[in-house]
Amino acid sequence: MRIRFETEGGIGDFPGSPARNKPTLIDTDDLPPREIEELDRLLMAAGFFDLPAVSEPPRGAADYFRYTISVTTPERSHIVTLTDPIEDPDVGALVDYLEEKSRE
C-alpha cells in the first residue's frame, strides 16, 4: 500500500510562499508489521475508501488547513481532500497519525 499525504493552508499560506510541508510518502513495504496494522486499523475505522473525494470547507475557511490523502492498494485507489475542522474522530485520528509520520 502506498499513501501520499499533503497539508496546505493555515495562517501565512499564500501564493509564492514556501510550502509548509512537502508531501509525505509512505510505502507499507518500508514499515514494520506493527505500524502496518495500525495504519490498516486507522483506514478501516475512518471508512477511508467510502469517504467523499472532497469535504466542503465551512464558510470563511480561508485560514484552515486542507489535507489531501491518497491511498493506493493493489485492489483500489482513493483520494480524499479534507478541511479543518474534521468532525469525525476516526478521520481525525488518521490525519493525526499521518501528520506525525510527516514529521519523522
Describe the chain by its helix, strand, coil percentages, rounded to 5: 35, 25, 40
pTM, entire model? 0.86
Mean pLDDT to the nearest integer, 3-10? 88
- The reported pLDDT for the residue numbered 89 is 96
Q: Please report which helix (H) or strand (E) contains residue 6, including its range.
A: strand 2-9
Over residues 27-86, the pLDDT tens digits come to 999 999 999 999 999 999 999 999 999 987 766 666 788 899 999 999 999 999 998 888
| Whole-number pLDDT of residue 17 | 46
| H-assigned helices in 1-104 | 33-46, 89-103
